Chains A and B, each alone.
Chain A
Amino acid sequence: MAVEHRIATPHREGSGPAPLILRAVTPTFQPTTVEEDLRKIAATVRLKIVKTIALAGLGHVGGDLSVTDILTALYFAVLDVDPADPTKPERDRFILSKGHCAAAFYSVLALRGFFDPEAVDTFMKPLSPLNGHPNRRKIPGVEANTGPLGHGLPIGLGAAIGAKLSGQSWRTFVVVGDGELQEGSNWEAAMAAGHRGLDNLTVIVDRNRFQQGAGTEATNRLEPLADKFRAFGWDAVDVDGHDVAALHVLLAAKGGDKPRAIIAKTYKGRGVSFMENLVDWHHKVPSAEQVEIALKELTR
């Protein structure tokens, strides 16, 4: 149940349209493990991202397009979640720690049937439930109100500990940005997860090698990243973060007796030639002309 958050609005009482409440709809795409289908879904997600950001005139297109295949593999091939019952206790938990990539997250949730894909058109518009960063009080399927970086992994750690304590077999997945890993809170959580041998916790690093203003290695070096996780008691594997089939296989497999870090090599702006692998597109908004070119490239 979405909880409506009411704020006194002394100057607008009774005015304006009724608040948009997000509810489950018939999914645009059904869950699938067929590679070709997953690719088709990812392509649709990318189109939706670009259209959404063009409409809003705001957003984080670079990281949205780098995380698209990861989110697609998770939501359509891996996660045990049910849009008709988004808070069922035994659901897998997913946390998008890099909450600035809300446009990608909302597009995937909508195409999976958590709410009407048309609602995504209200992204960041006045009084929309779809804020620039995800809000679990208004959006079915969202587990945590992320946005400040470095919060998702500790919350995921708590969920994973909770599952163990209550003897439940559901899993917890957290997607973090690579720049985000500079936040110390991640490493506090990583240390605790390794210490506890939480095989029910998986972190996926969207390793696009850029943060907001520059490359990660030029700013505050992360490498050797897999070894860092290993040193903290994790299994760590590298994967092509745009290969939905490989992502599916890795994500579906349960680890041994350790938490698992999947370092997904990706490109910011993936799929749009003039955005790909360029730091400028962290949160730049494409012009009308650029949107047209981008949509054409993504439709090919």
Chain B
Amino acid sequence: MSAAEAPRVAGSVETFDCRVAFADEVIKLARADERIVVVCNDSVGSSNMGAFQKEFPDRLVNVGIAEQNMVGVGAGLANAGMIPFVCAAGPFLTGRATEQIKADCAYSQYPVVLCGMSPGMAYGELGPTHHSIEDFAWMRAIAELTIMAPVDPAETRQAVQWAAQAGKPVYMRVARFKVPAVTGAEHKWEPGKISTLRDGGDVTLAAIGTMVSRAIEAADLLAREGIAARVLNVSTLKPLDEETILKAARETGRIVTAEEAVSTGGLGGAIAELVSQHHPVPMRILGVPGFAPTGDTQFLLDHFGLNVEGLAKAARDLMGTRSRP
């Protein structure tokens, strides 16, 4: 484990790079099932697949820096009866190989597990070419592709286990920017189900990935101001858990969404499409409004208001209240 992958203690809360749990779980599965293979684009290190390669050198297919080929190879391996985990930095996987994901995986229904490593703005300073913030919008537009963003190491493990046996193509984000464990040991992750992490009747904070822990903190902040916020962890973006969203719309009447992704076509878009047709409620959609300037991940999240204060402010806006001292 390199220093970058070791848990870091931020303030008093321990945070984790989900690539560690991800790789560990893939290796465990591979020990039990010979069909598990990993496909990389010179991304063995950045996907934390060094240990897998050491243990299963033949089952790590590194096609070189060639993402379109990589995804096509994934589909071919699935055709041959293997269970491919295609691991590459999110921007190049979803951007460069979009058509392979659409035609070779989704339309052909080959069960390829597409793993977008270091998604969102995890590569902050490397700039917009290396940010994977369009992935939700791009992948959502593709029919019959499941989209997941497990929120912490425990969910990452369960998502990996599920994806390996799902028998259908899946895109999953694997977080590199460190996140706290927000789900307890007893939490049973269910594919396609939203988990409610805080109950509340005034406003809903629907968050995904890195935004979930911030939404919990925002709910705590709002509670001190007398606002009861419900926090939804949307770890499956597609298919969307419509029942839980519509229930929240009915019961809270206001929805704030937050995602480390462009503010069009992702989580906010998905929820707006749903509620506007079935139970319209006022919404605030928090995301990234354009190409980001230079800065590290934390700087950029703050820059775009993708933080506790930004979430709380959006909730207050919807409530028509102001921050109380």
Listed in ascending order, the chain A residues whose CB lies under 8 Å from chain B are 5, 7-12, 56, 58, 99-100, 124-133, 135, 145-150, 179-180, 182-184, 211-214, 216, 219-220
A219 touches B295 (CB 8 A): no
Q: How far is the CA of A12 from the CA of B129 in the complex (A)?
A: 24
Listed in ascending order, the chain B residues whose CB lies under 8 Å from chain A are 42-46, 62-69, 91-92, 95-96, 123, 125-130, 289-296, 299, 302-305, 309-310
A128 touches B310 (CB 8 A): no
Q: How far is the CA of A100 from the CA of B125 in the complex (A)?
A: 11
Chain B residues contacting A145 (CB-CB under 8 Å) are 128-129
| Residue ID in chain A nearest B40 by CB atoms | A213
B127 touches A126 (CB 8 A): no
B64 touches A148 (CB 8 A): no
B42 touches A211 (CB 8 A): yes
Give, as a whole number of angstroms, the nearest-CB distance from B219 to chain A. 19
A212 touches B310 (CB 8 A): no
B66 touches A148 (CB 8 A): no
Q: How far is the CA of A124 from the CA of B296 in the complex (A)?
A: 8
Q: How far is the CA of A132 from the CA of B131 in the complex (A)?
A: 12
B294 touches A129 (CB 8 A): yes
| Residue ID in chain A nearest B310 by CB atoms | A11
Chain A residues contacting B125 (CB-CB under 8 Å) are 56, 58, 124, 131-132
Q: How far is the CA of A132 from the CA of B129 in the complex (A)?
A: 10
Chain B residues contacting A216 (CB-CB under 8 Å) are 64
A131 touches B303 (CB 8 A): no
B65 touches A130 (CB 8 A): no
CB-CB under 8 A for A212 and B43, given A7-B292, A8-B289: yes
Chain B residues contacting A125 (CB-CB under 8 Å) are 294-295
Given contact pairs A11-B305, A133-B127, A146-B129, enumerate 15 new A-B contacts (beta carbons under 8 Å): A11-B309, A56-B125, A126-B294, A126-B299, A129-B294, A180-B65, A182-B65, A183-B66, A184-B69, A212-B43, A213-B43, A213-B44, A213-B62, A214-B42, A220-B62
B66 touches A220 (CB 8 A): yes
A211 touches B294 (CB 8 A): no
A5 touches B305 (CB 8 A): no
B43 touches A184 (CB 8 A): no
Chain A residues contacting B123 (CB-CB under 8 Å) are 132
| Residue ID in chain A nearest B293 by CB atoms | A127
Q: How far is the CA of A51 from the CA of B178 in the complex (A)?
A: 28
Q: How far is the CA of A279 from the CA of B129 in the complex (A)?
A: 23
Give, as a whole number of angstroms, the nearest-CB distance from A217 to chain B. 11
Q: Which of B46, B68, B129 contacts A184 (CB 8 A)?
A: B68
B45 touches A213 (CB 8 A): yes
Listed from nearest, the 10 A-B pairs whose CB atoms lie closest are A220-B64, A147-B129, A182-B64, A132-B126, A124-B125, A131-B127, A126-B295, A182-B65, A131-B294, A128-B294
Chain A residues contacting B130 (CB-CB under 8 Å) are 132-133, 147
B64 touches A11 (CB 8 A): no
Q: List 21 A-B contacts (CB under 8 A).
A: A5-B290, A9-B303, A124-B294, A131-B126, A132-B126, A133-B129, A135-B127, A145-B129, A146-B129, A147-B129, A148-B95, A149-B65, A179-B64, A180-B65, A182-B42, A212-B42, A212-B45, A214-B62, A216-B64, A220-B62, A220-B65
Chain A residues contacting B289 (CB-CB under 8 Å) are 7-8
Q: Which of B64, B296, B302 contacts A211 (CB 8 A)?
A: B64
| B63, B96, B292 — most chain A CB neighbours (10 Å) | B96
Give, as a whole number of angstroms, the nearest-CB distance from A210 to chain B. 10
| Residue ID in chain B nearest A145 by CB atoms | B129
Q: How far is the CA of A22 from the CA of B297 in the complex (A)?
A: 24
B42 touches A219 (CB 8 A): yes
| Residue ID in chain A nearest B68 by CB atoms | A184
Q: How far is the CA of A297 from the CA of B276 in the complex (A)?
A: 65
B126 touches A147 (CB 8 A): yes
| A11, A179, A214 — most chain B CB neighbours (10 Å) | A11
Chain A residues contacting B42 (CB-CB under 8 Å) are 179, 182, 211-214, 219
A211 touches B65 (CB 8 A): yes
A183 touches B65 (CB 8 A): yes
Chain B residues contacting A135 (CB-CB under 8 Å) are 127
Chain A residues contacting B69 (CB-CB under 8 Å) are 184
Q: How far is the CA of A4 from the CA of B135 in the complex (A)?
A: 26
Chain A residues contacting B45 (CB-CB under 8 Å) are 212-213
Q: How far is the CA of A256 from the CA of B68 in the complex (A)?
A: 34
| Residue ID in chain A nearest B53 by CB atoms | A213
